[in-house]
């Protein structure tokens, strides 16, 4: 049985990954997507309307989920699609050469429907997929979770509070509430506890 926790992915957590799929014309597609770990071999994705990834996996249900930290790859895959030379083939599938690890997953269920979020109501496609194979390419694999960046940012701003003027403090406090929203959405228990302790210190400046 494949086990994605061997790649550092933890059950119940949300990570940022890059999904590689095959377009109808056979060319590769790569797009950053949030990845929710249901258990050791099941994952869930939420696709926004118009996503090529969503239509590709509905047509061709086997795809790769790439785990990496390389910032340029994330940028390239968000602003467009990287060149063919950035991909490697694994049978019929594509994965990214810059990946630290990848796993193959097969769609087991999908549904599309409206979902209320802070932008209003959005037609989301929810994809459930079963992991078929895990491949570790780098010695050290570190799946991306956004919570740590928010926590570090909040901490750095906290250490600047004493030096900051009133206007800057208000900016930091506003950022803290945005960070709090993010960490409570994507973070694990440890992240939430860390944030709670930082929040108590920010409260002294309210
Ligand atoms: C870190 C990151 C995470 C993202 N997560 C998602 C996601 O979970 N679902 C989604 O539909 N779009 C997500 N996006 C936006 C898509 O990557 C972006 O719209 C992309 O152009 C879609 O490409 P596609 O049309 O090839 O699927 C994310 C973008 C970034 C940078």
Strand extents, DSSP E, the chain? 14-22, 28-39, 42-47, 62-67, 87-90, 93-96, 101-117, 120-136
Confidence at residue 118, expressed as pLDDT on a 0 to 100 scale: 77
User: Cα–Cα–Cα angle for 167, 154, 180, nearest 5°?
Assistant: 100
Q: Which residues line ligand 1 (CB under 6 A)?
A: 16, 29, 31-34, 46-48, 51-53, 74, 78
Contact 97, 87 (CB under 8 A): yes
| Last residue within a domain, chosen from 136, 164, 179 | 136
Give me the domain span that covers residue 178: 147-203
With the most atoms of ligand 1 within 8 angstroms of its CB, the residue from 24, 33, 110, 126 to mutate is 33
Q: What is the pLDDT of residues 98-152, one digit of tens each?
A: 999 999 999 999 999 998 887 789 899 999 999 999 999 999 999 999 999 999 9
- CATH number of 156's domain: 1.20.58
User: Cα–Cα–Cα angle for 124, 195, 141, nearest 5°?
Assistant: 65
Which structure tokens are listed for 109?
């269920």
Q: Verify that 181 and 126 share a domain, yes or no.
A: no
2 half-sphere exposure, CB direction, 13 A CA radius: 19
Which structure tokens are listed for 108?
């087991």
Q: Considering the entire predicted model, what is its pTM?
A: 0.95
Q: What is the pLDDT of residues 1-24, one digit of tens each?
A: 899 999 999 999 999 999 999 999
Count how many domains the chain has: 2
Q: Verify that 89 and 191 share a domain, yes or no.
A: no
Query: Which protein residue's CA is at the shortest distance from atom 18 of ligand 1?
Result: 78
Q: Verify that 172 and 76 share a domain, yes or no.
A: no
Confidence at residue 146, expressed as pLDDT on a 0 to 100 scale: 97
Per-residue pLDDT band at 71 (split at 50, 70, 90): very high
Q: Which residues are registered as beta bridge partners of 15? A: 35
Q: Verify that 44 and 101 share a domain, yes or no.
A: yes
Residue 142 placed within a domain: no
| Backbone φ and ψ of 135, nearest 5° | -135, 120
Q: Verify that 105 and 21 share a domain, yes or no.
A: yes
Q: Which atom of ligand 1 is nearest to the CA of 30?
A: 26
Nearest CA to 151 among 195, 205, 193?
A: 195
């Amino acid at each position: 049985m494949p086990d994605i926790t061997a790649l550092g992915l933890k059950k119940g957590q949300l990570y940022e990954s890059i999904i590689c799929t095959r377009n109808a014309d056979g060319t590769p597609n790569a797009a950053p997507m949030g990845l929710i770990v249901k258990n050791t071999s099941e994952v869930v994705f939420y696709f926004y309307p118009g996503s090529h990834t969503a239509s590709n996996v509905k047509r061709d249900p086997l795809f790769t989920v790439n785990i990496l930290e390389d910032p340029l790859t994330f940028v390239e895959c968000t602003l467009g699609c990287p060149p063919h030379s950035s991909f490697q083939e694994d049978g019929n599938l594509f994965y990214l050469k810059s990946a630290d690890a990848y796993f193959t997953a097969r769609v087991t269920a999908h549904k599309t429907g409206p979902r209320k979020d802070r932008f209003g109501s959005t037609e989301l496609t929810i994809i459930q997929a079963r992991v078929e194979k895990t491949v570790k390419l780098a010695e050290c694999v570190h799946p991306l979770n956004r919570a740590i960046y928010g926590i570090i940012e909040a901490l750095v701003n906290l250490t600047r509070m004493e030096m900051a003027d009133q206007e800057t403090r208000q900016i930091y406090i506003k950022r803290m509430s945005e960070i709090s929203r993010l960490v409570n959405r994507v973070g694990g228990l440890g992240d939430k506890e860390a944030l709670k302790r930082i929040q108590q210190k920010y409260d002294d400046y309210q």
